């Protein structure tokens, strides 16, 4: 469902330009749980931001479900981010003045859902990440793992086509990391959520179906860990 062709991203121009992505191509199928790995500075974050429409590629093609998203105007990209793409930040990126529920709820409001519907959607998403009963807490009252799970709830509440996560466990201890990865795995297995996750830790790959490795702006390895269910229909939750 995602097709990336010869994607390039240069920071700056001319001789001094940093070539963060030198032309990567791959496809991701619906229902896959993909890890993007690579050394520091290899271009993982750069790639993920472009995929999540937070940044523009310098060159190359990017289509989601046949839609050429790389050339959409900003207002439409914003709408696409809102409705089709979930993004989980390394440092949670929650709004500190909002409760867990409100952090999730606000996106449904933005989509035009009623107050009640938004609230129910938020609670449902918080349940899915195992935060039942903690929806009224503000970020300061939650552990790192819980915060990250709120962020995941926010990203999945809208039932996005793809969920992106950039080192979601980088700020978490092993225990909390496991909780978060379990949540991803469950979302993927139970609801068929397509997930693209950047990670450093080799042990994280136990949870995923496929590992794409970047090196110095190039895709150097694409390893399918198990043959995925590229089944035509994955029941979307």
Ligand X SMILES: Nc1ncnc2c1ncn2[C@@H]1O[C@H](COP(=O)(O)OP(=O)(O)OP(=O)(O)O)[C@@H](O)[C@H]1O
Per-residue contact string for residues 18-47; x = within reach of ligand X by CB under 6 A = x-x-----------------x-xxxxxxx-
Which run of H or of E encompasses 172? none
Task: Kindly tell me which of 112 and 133 has the beta carbon lying closer to other proteins.
Answer: 112
**Residues 47-76, interacting with other proteins (CB under 8 A):** 49, 54-55
Q: If DSSP codes are grouped into helix, strand and coil, which group holds residue 42?
A: coil
Task: Kindly tell me which of 41 and 60 has the beta carbon lying closer to Mg ion.
Answer: 41
Beta strands in 108-182 (DSSP E): 162-166
Is 45 a binder of Mg ion (CB under 5 A)? yes
**Residues 122-161, interacting with other proteins (CB under 8 A):** 138, 154-155
Residues binding Mg ion: what is the number (CB under 5 A)? 1
**Binding window for other proteins (CB under 8 A); candidates: 26-34, 106-114, 124-132, 224-232:** 106-114
Q: If DSSP codes are grouped into helix, strand and coil, which group holds residue 231?
A: coil
Count Cβ atoms within 10 A of the Cβ of residue 34 and give its class: 0-12 exposed, 13-18 middle, 19 or more buried: buried
- Tokens 């996750």: give the residue: 197
Dist. CA 154–CA 108, nearest whole Å: 9
Q: What do you get for the CA distance between the two ends of the chain, in Å?
A: 17
CB of 51 to Mg ion, least distance (A): 13
CB of 194 to other proteins, least distance (A): 18
Question: What are the C-alpha distances in Å from 95 to residues 100, 110, 112, 125?
Answer: 9, 15, 20, 17
- Which one-letter DSSP state was computed for residue 60? E
Contacts of 120 (CB under 8 A, 6+ apart): none
Question: Helices 115-128 & 144-156, crossing angle to 10 degrees?
Answer: 130
Choose the one of ligand X, other proteins, Mg ion, none that binds residue 41, judging by a C-beta under 5 to 8 angstroms depending on kind: ligand X
Task: Kindly tell me which residue out of 1, 93, 170, 228 binds other proteins, with binding defined by CB under 8 A.
Answer: 93
Task: Kindly tell me which of 12 and 14 has the beta carbon lying closer to other proteins.
Answer: 12
Task: Kindly tell me which residue out of 36, 107, 180, 198 binds other proteins, with binding defined by CB under 8 A.
Answer: 107
Q: Lay out the sheet containing 2-11: strands in order across.
A: 18-28, 2-11, 59-64, 67-68
Task: Kindly tell me which of 90 and 205 has the beta carbon lying closer to other proteins.
Answer: 90
The contact set with ligand X (CB under 6 A) reads 11, 18, 20, 38, 40-46
The contact set with Mg ion (CB under 5 A) reads 45
The contact set with other proteins (CB under 8 A) reads 49, 54-55, 78-79, 81-83, 87, 89, 93-99, 102, 105-107, 109-112, 138, 154-155
């Amino acid at each position: 469902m995602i097709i990336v062709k010869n994607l390039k991203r240069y920071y700056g121009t001319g001789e001094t330009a940093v070539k963060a992505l030198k032309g990567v191509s791959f496809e991701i199928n619906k229902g896959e749980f993909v890890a993007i790995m690579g050394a520091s500075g290899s271009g993982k974050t750069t790639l993920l931001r472009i995929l999540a429409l937070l940044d523009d590629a310098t060159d190359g093609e990017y289509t989601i479900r046949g839609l050429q998203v790389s050339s959409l105007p900003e207002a439409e990209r914003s709408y696409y981010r809102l409705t089709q793409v979930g993004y989980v930040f390394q440092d949670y990126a929650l709004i500190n003045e909002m409760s867990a529920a409100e952090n999730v709820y606000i996106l449904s409001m933005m989509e035009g859902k009623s107050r009640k519907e938004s609230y129910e959607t938020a609670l449902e998403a918080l349940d899915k990440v195992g935060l039942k009963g903690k929806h009224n807490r503000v970020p300061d009252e939650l552990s790192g793992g819980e915060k990250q799970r709120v962020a995941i709830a926010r990203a999945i509440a809208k039932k996005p086509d793809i969920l992106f996560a950039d080192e979601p466990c980088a700020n978490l201890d092993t225990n909390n990391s496991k909780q978060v990865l379990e949540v991803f795995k469950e979302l993927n297995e139970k609801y068929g959520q397509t997930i693209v996750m950047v990670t450093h830790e080799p042990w994280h790959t136990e949870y995923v179906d496929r590992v794409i490795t970047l090196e110095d702006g190039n895709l150097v390895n694409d390893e399918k860990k198990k043959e995925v269910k590229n089944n035509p229909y994955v029941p979307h939750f």
